[in-house]
Structure 1
Amino acid sequence: MNSSSLKFNAVSEWWDEYIAYDALKKYVYQLEKQQVGYRDAVHDLEANESTSLIQGTDEHVSTDALFIPLLDRELKKIASFYDAQEKELLEEVQGLERMVLQQEADGPDFGHQYDRQEDDDDDDDEDDDFNQALQNSEITFSRSPASRRRRSLSVGNRGGVRTHRPEWSSNRRFSLSSNEDHGDLEASIASLRSTAQGEPTGSQPSNGGQGRGVSRSPIRTAKSIASKIFSRDSNIPDTVWTAKNNYAMDIQLLFKRRITNLYLSLISLRSYVELNLTGFRKILKKYDKVTDSSLRDRYLHDNVELASPFTTASKDKLNRAVDRLIDLYARCVARGDASAAKRQLKMHQREHIAWERDTVWRQMIGNERRGEGEPGTLRTLGGTLVLEPEKGILDLQTPAGHIKLTMKQIFLLASVIIFVLLLNVQVVESVEANRCLAILVFATVMWATEAIPLFVTSIFIPLLLVTLRVIRDSDNKRLSAPDATKWIFSVMFSPTIMLLIGGFTIAAALSKTNIDRVLITRVLSLAGTRPSIVLLAFMGVACFASMWISNVAAPTLCFTLIKPILRTLPPRSKFAPCLILGIALAANIGGQSSPISSPQNLIALHEMDPQLDWSKWFAIALPVSAISIILIWLLLLVSYKPARSPDGEGDIEIKPIKPTREPFTLKQYWVCLVCLVTITLWCVEHAIESKVGDMGIIAIIPIVAFFSTGILKKDDFDQFLWTVVFLAMGGIALGKGVTSSGLLEVLDDVIRDIIDGKSLYTVVMVLSVIVLVVSTFISHTIASVLLVPIAKEVGSKMPNHPETLLIFLTALICSTGMGMPVSGFPNQQAATQEDEMGQLYLSNVDFLKNGVPASIIATMVVSTVGFLLMKVM
């Protein structure tokens, strides 16, 4: 729970009466600083002043003694507001019941004079008199366009919106305070009665005392008698709730509105109680976790549960009042049908919630999701954040309009020009190969410059391959467009793509069931308080997490876990940037540790023939990753010296990570079992290949197991990284196109000249440098798309054909390109981490000073230790 979710579910008119969750959370963090000995005031940016909860207090005072009074103050505020609302609403329910009994005692014929005559000549005048009489009670009638005699009721509501619809409207704003409605109802009924008796209303004249509408016309009387004689229910006497005369129908509509408003008020009050109870539970849980206390259960039991809003008696009162209103609605509106009454009131409740949530913060969320807003702005829950607009190379105001040319537009234009030139210049002999070369260069430039989103370029590749007739069959004959389309789409969705989706499913299940956080916090709790050990522990956890929940989600989780540590560090501590950078570098290394940890590994597996099984992958990748992590850890210790305090006096002490206390649930055990079974089958896939065919088939197991049992929902499936899936599919399509068009054969002579007479290890070192440079400046996935086919072709031209070895090396080194802030997603996330004052922890110098040496170290480990392990395997 946070302030946004609280506001989203709260009643907007009562916002100040809810628990002050944000303020309490700030106090918790101040107490956390006190515990670790840093008593710096927290700077309130909005108030532009420093505030501190613990100023002037004894350091040995228990944090409970400081926090409990704040909770008591909030509890007293909530109880006072609830008591006033409960008393008012229950009194109104009782008053409404009395009014219902009074109406039933009066009977349906009380307002028989209220019926209007059918005489067309007097009809308009009678309407005018009646409308004038009803204005004082805020009831108006409007002509229906279909008939002059059909009328629809609209009940006025001070502070509300008038509507001429007889049924409840979904865009109606319901009043949660029903004081005015109560008065409106009594006044409306009094006005109807006085009008029915032919009396003037308010200051309106009575038309000379003629009492228009006092007597029925003969035709009207005859119709009424006939309807009763021929009605199937003529033996059942009418009541005020079943009669069809005008007076009774108006009374029914008035009571329908009154009961509905009271019902919504009671439901909102019940929701107010539940939301505040959740708020107390969440803030106490956060307090216990941050301060290592055990206040939650004690305070909830001794204080919250005994307060008037949260007692069983109060809940029973509200529930009984709701049930009484449902009975009244069934009695007055639903012809005694209790189930219909409950269904209709719930419908009104849903419409009310939809209206309440369609407020400023709801619209902000929708606009942000749809990408609406002005260029250079980002809509957030707190308002509109103005971003620095993209700088234009050319910015001119012309008579035809404003022209702004950005770097991305220049790159896009350059890519198109190069593409058109290559299509019209014969670089290689074969037409198909020449066109494929143009596509390859075009896609490479587009991927490298990100002139358009990466996945859009990938989706564009099949279109170019088919329309330019690049694909050839085994006899080197150009395929027709229909045949080329079927072929290219069949190879794009390969078992590798299914393996990627299976990896996303496992990652989503581990994250949603909180298994990743439980396991990681338990491991980190063993790290202690020494900065060097804490740094190594986080790097190891980031690397391990990247193996299973991807190196996209793993750093996100780790950056969340280190926030309590960063909050309690002294200002200008070197440990903060060291820890953030260490997590990012370790997550990159984790991208090489398992076949599903990153897309580049899956692309490499797809090109291997035969594919490397998981056991061999782990046997090579895990030692390489472990050595790389330790060497990078030593590099960071030497570079940052994170243990030193900023003032140079002694070493800092790190706040320990506390493991979650919740035991494993049956659902979590089920997720662990499915994941272990799937990974085991992947490891032994070669032994059971005759049964399962490919690892992509095994990847279906977690998809079925988690989605069929409700562990994961449709929304979880929608949130998979589908852009990465399409990126990989486009890369596969391009690789197949290069092979099918004959372009790879054209490059044989060039490749042969490069490697002719050189040893395998020399080729490995040259390839390592090329892969490292490319993967540093462009996406790791794109680097593998471009370089894995080259590694495969180089291996095929060498003695003993070491294609698998070179492909494996290329995939591992793609993950080591981490020298720039844009080198991989972990680096991009690390570069955006900010402190409490909004200052970035890392700069470009940090990446150049530490990221570049780390990349070189990791590459050397792959090309030495990894190479030797591959030779042994």
Structure 2
Amino acid sequence: MKFSSSLKFNAVAEWWDEYIAYDTLKKTIYQLEKQQQAPNGVDVYSDLEANETSALVGGSTSATDGIFVPLLDRELKKINLFYESQEEELNRELEELEALVHRQEAGGFDEYYADEDDDRDSDEDSVSRSREPPANRRRRASAARSPRNVSSQPSEFAIPEEPRRERGYSMSSDENNGEMEASTVTLGGTATKRALGRIATRVRKMSLSESTPSATSPTEATSIWNAHTNFAYDTRLLFKRRITTLYVAFTSLRSYVEVNYSGFRKILKKYDKITYNSLKDRYVHDVVELAYPFTAQAKDKINERIARLTDLYAKCCTHGDIHIAKQQLKLHQREKVAWERDTVWRQMIGRERRGEAGDASKAGATLVHEPEPALLILGRFRLTKRILWLLLSLAIFLTMLNVQIVSVDEANRCLAILVFCTVLWASEAIPLFVTSLLVPLLVVCLRVIRNSESQAGLSAPDATKYIFSVMFSPTIMLLIGGFTISSGLSKTNIDRVLITRVLSLAGSKPRTVLLAFMCVSCFASMWISNVAAPTLCFTLIKPILRTLPPKSAFAPCLILGIALAANIGGQSSPISSPQNLIALQEMDPALDWGKWFAVALPVSAISILLIWGLLLASYRPARSPDGEGDIEIRTIRPTQEPFTGKQYWVTFVCLVTIALWCVAHSLESVFGDMGVIALIPIIAFFGTGILKKDDFEQFAWTIVFLAMGGIALGKSVVSSGLLEVWDGLIRDMVDGFSLYTVVLILSPVVLVISTFISHTIASVLLVPIAAEVGSSLEGNPKNLLIFITALICSAGMGMPVSGFPNQTAAQQENDLGELYLTNVDFLKNGVPASILATLVVSTLGFVLMKVVGV
């Protein structure tokens, strides 16, 4: 990426005008280059502020230096002034924040449980209020909680919106729109501090009157930072937001200095290269590095402020644990950077690079990742979990190569490769696609491929031609066509338009909203993959989650429902997940899309309804946390933009392609295979400019190579004779069993394996076995068992690691950095959901497969 784009990519959006004017300086350099080549050398100066003079660095008398150095001086002065003003403002905010923390602790912990009226308006009035009937006290507390009595007062503590709703605050739309954000802190004079005392007292009294029996008592807690009352929760939330906001501001200021320093070095390097000068080293060392923002003193100051903020965060939010405080603050910083890169600068960078909005979805790839924890450290050697698994897999591989387990040499070596790759795939010791790329290397070098007629091992050149010919099959082309459709729908915003319009009809009832989101997640997973669909849905539900009361059961219920539905969507269409394409590759004859939909759609619909009922019974999401009444959900607003011609074109091409896939068998004489039909959207979208070269580069090529490696391994198992060895064992195992009995035996095996390893890897390992089992049964129900195996692979969703939708859901957290879901949520709901989906496949799915003639 060019530095001009990198500058925009790494800059803070609000400070953009305060960064070095890199593009302007670059244009000046090009003008100076023209001036050097002009015959008279005087025509360009009028455009370059020739009337300005400056003391040249190092006494240089170069004409170009005399023009360029004043421009650099002006940029350096701008950066210096902005940095000093920002540093002063942030330092003041930090001191005020520290004062607030100390003031919060100065009153002593007992006051948070006291029944005194700190307003001291009237002791007698306080006593009389305490003797009021409960109904009167509730009415008086309700009045005290009204925004007219609380929000309208200028306060250092803005009460967060979520706790207000939780404790029954009612606010009009005008008041809500004008309400300060929870992270805002208004620092003022004596009147503000007095208002703080009155409001804090009222909140403490409300917290006492409404705290649950399990709330922490003075004997159980030592400070407000570990208490469990509503007031303590509000206070920690406020300070958490304030500290994280200030932490991000300080780290952004530090990044501002680093980016500008790189900017000076880059622009001076370009200047020296184009104008044949040597200004860079002199100007950087003698001017830039002596300016205040770039000095060691300034860097030490900002690092010291960041350390103080970390200590405050540890005190207020992590019970004094500095390590956890650093991790959480860095996570907030990374989320801020990723959000700005993905949201603010996406269109700007895209226009510069391609002439229209681009896709910066890989922004997070440049972020710094925490190193993997070491199990053992010996000097410079760090034994991590990945290295341990890699060493173990290599040991197993070498052992199996030297032990004759199978009588046929090629089959024995193929078994060693199969076990080696299985361990690597299951442990993810190296990236999954890298393991797949090992397959052709190993099967060629170890002479695994045999001639189908003579059964003699193929030479390395012949084995290479064979293995690469089967790796890039029509199925892989079908996968790439699916990526093209997904990218086209996302690039033209069709997916978001359709989804928001459907969700706008869901209303405000929790059970209806939950079902709508589950259906949308399932449907989106059919066409834009079950990797992108849950991510899109989690983005859409954030406004809903922000308006829910704290600890509402609807939040984890909705997140888990979207993830489970996305897994179910992975079985609904042939291109929704790689395991379906691997199954199609093994089927003979290949199954057309019409029969796939005839089975998968009813199975998915019934599974979604059963899982929806399970989540409603488990979470009871309609009930408010305090048990008083039901909650209402904020309605999703549909996008108002009408469909454009480009969107109609993308929709038309997608529908035509899907229709052709559904009747592919009837058109074999025209197209030959569904992989050829997959070329239609590729040509239509890339040929008309809807998708660009960069979009093609951003396809999930790791998944493509993962599928290719799986296909290569499956063909190697057949060619080496290993499948023939298995054939006898499998025939003995299923001898005397009916087809449905075999289905009932196979289903739980597939479910357990796909729960603990990748769904795609599970299909790579299990589909060949299912094919061989089917070939051993009467009537050769090979396709049926392959179909059932592929559908159940998507139903393995009982653990947080079971598929990408579950992994994404497990990472969702609230404003306090607390995860919405725990392992208990997955065990309590994901495991039963997996069992229900598997039962639907093995019963209803089996019947439908027999009906359509699979």
- What TM-score results when the alignment is normalised by the length of structure 1? 0.60
Distance change (3 Å), C-alpha of 1:622 and 1:161: closer
Change (3 A) 1:586 1:161: closer
Kept after mapping to 1: 8 A contact 2:759/2:802: yes
Structure-2 separation of matches of 1:165 and 1:524 = 57
- 1:344 aligns with none
Q: Could you tell me which residue of structure 1 aligns to residue 13 of structure 2? A: 6
One-letter amino acid matched to 1:167: T
| Partners of 2:376 and 2:383 within 8 A in 1 | yes
RMSD: 3.7
1:10–1:480 CA distance, 2 compared to 1 (3 A): farther
- Deviating more after overlay: 682-691 vs 4-13: 4-13
Higher Cα Rg, which structure: 1
Contact in 2 for aligned 1:41/1:52 (Cα 8 Å): no
**Pair 561,53 (structure 1): closer, same or farther in 2 beyond 3 Å:** closer
% identical equivalent positions: 67
Give the whole-Å Cα distance in 2 for the aligned partners of 1:738 and 1:366.
37
Structure-to-structure mapping, 1:337-416, within 5 angstroms:
369=365, 377-378=368-369, 387=370, 389-396=371-378, 401-416=379-394
Deviations 1:390-414 (A, max 9, x none): 3332223xxxx33321222111111
Cα offsets for 1:50-85 (capped at 9, x unmatched) = 566999x994463698499xxxxxxxxxxxxxxxxx
Q: For residues 703 and 156 of structure 2, what CA distance do their matches in structure 1 show?
A: 43
Give yes or no for contact 2:272–2:279 (8 Å, CA) kept in 1: no
Alignment of 1:458-607 (within 5 A): 458-475=436-453, 476-607=455-586
Structure 2 residue corresponding to 1:737, chosen from 713, 716, 728: 716
Q: Give the aligned partner of residue 167 of structure 1.
A: 275
Q: Tell me the TM-score normalised to structure 2 length.
A: 0.61
Residue 726 (str. 1) matches residue 719 (str. 2): no
From 685, 700, 707, the equivalent of 2:679 is 700
Taking the aligned partners of 1:743 and 1:731, their CA distance within structure 2 comes to: 16
Query: Contact 1:42 / 1:50 at 8 angstroms: preserved in 2?
Result: no
**Match for residue 673 of structure 1?**
652
Partner of 2:404: 426
d(CA) in 1 for partners of 2:630 and 2:10? 36
CA distance in 2, matches of 1:538, 1:580: 9
| Aligned position for 1:851 | 830
- For the 8 Å contact 1:643–1:651, the answer to whether it is kept is yes
Closer, same or farther: CA 11–860 of 1 in aligned 2, 3 Å: same
Matches within 5 A, 1:205-216: none
Map residues 192-207 of structure 1 onto 2, 5 A cutoff. none
Structure 1 letter corresponding to 2:841? V
What amino acid is the match of 2:763? S
Asked whether the 8 Å contact 1:515–1:668 carries over to 2, the reply is: yes
User: What's the counterpart of residue 422 of structure 2?
Assistant: 444
The one of 428, 435, 438 equivalent to 2:413 is 435
Rounded Cα–Cα distance in structure 1 between residues aligned with 2:508 and 2:641: 23
SS at the partner of 1:686? helix
- Sort the Cα spacing of 1:717 and 1:170 in 2 relative to 1 into closer, same or farther, 3 A: farther
Structure-2 residue corresponding to 1:608: 587
User: Which amino acid is the alignment partner of residue 433 of structure 2?
Assistant: F
Match of residue 174, structure 2, among 62, 66, 69: 62
Where does 1:24-173 land on structure 2 (aligned, <5 Å)? 50=158, 59-60=171-172, 62=174, 66=178, 167=275
Q: Distance in 1 between matches of 2:694 and 2:268?
A: 36
Show structure 1 runs of 5+ residues with no match: 19-36, 69-156, 176-278, 284-349, 355-363, 372-376, 379-386
Contact 2:146 2:171 in 1 (8 A): no
Letter of the structure 2 residue corresponding to residue 493 of structure 1: F
The match for 2:217 is none
Once residues 165 and 732 of structure 1 are traced to their aligned partners in structure 2, the CA distance between those partners, rounded to angstroms, is 51
Residue 395 of structure 2 corresponds to residue 417 of structure 1 = yes
For 2:791, the equivalent position in structure 1 comes to 812
For the 8 Å contact 2:272–2:278, the answer to whether it is kept is no
Residue 809 of structure 2 is aligned to residue 830 of structure 1: yes
Per-residue deviation, residues 654-703 of structure 1 (Å, max 9, x unmatched): 00001000111111001000000100110111011111010000001101
Give the Cα separation in 2 of the matches to 1:402 and 1:675.
54
Query: Do the aligned residues in 1 keep the contact of 2:479 with 2:575 (CA within 8 Å)?
Result: yes
Kept in 2, the 8 Å contact 1:498–1:697? The answer is yes
Q: Distance in 2 between matches of 1:716 and 1:41?
A: 55
- Are residue 755 (structure 1) and residue 734 (structure 2) matched? yes
Q: Deviations over 1:334-375 (max 9, x none)?
A: xxxxxxxxxxxxxxxx9xx99xxxxxxxxx99997467xxxx
The equivalent residue for 1:339 is none
1:128-167 CA-partner distances (Å, limit 9, x unpaired):
xxxxxxxxxxxxxxxxxxxxxxxxxxxxx9xx97988893
Task: Return closer, same or farther for 1:844/1:650 CA change in 2, 3 Å cut-off.
Answer: same
Tell me the residue number matched to 2:620: 641
**In the superposition, relative to structure 1, how do residues 763 and 582 fare at CA in structure 2: closer, same or farther (>3 Å)?**
same
Counterpart-to-counterpart distance in 2, 1:38 and 1:854: 43
Q: What SS does the corresponding residue of 1:393 show, helix, strand or coil?
A: strand
Cα distance in 2 for residues equivalent to 1:461 and 1:566: 45
The alpha-carbon distance between structure 1 residues 729 and 53, as it changes in their structure 2 partners (threshold 3 A), is: closer
The amino acid of 2:431's aligned partner reads: P
Alpha-carbon distance in 2 for matches of 1:527, 1:427: 59
How far off its partner does 1:41 sit?
A: 15
Q: Deviations over 1:104-137 (max 9, x none)?
A: xxxxxxxxxxxxxxxxxxxxxxxxxxxxxxxxxx
Matched-pair contact (CA < 8 Å) for 1:547–1:591: yes
Is 1:784 aligned to residue 781 of structure 2? no
Structure-2 change in CA distance of 1:422 and 1:530 (3 Å): same
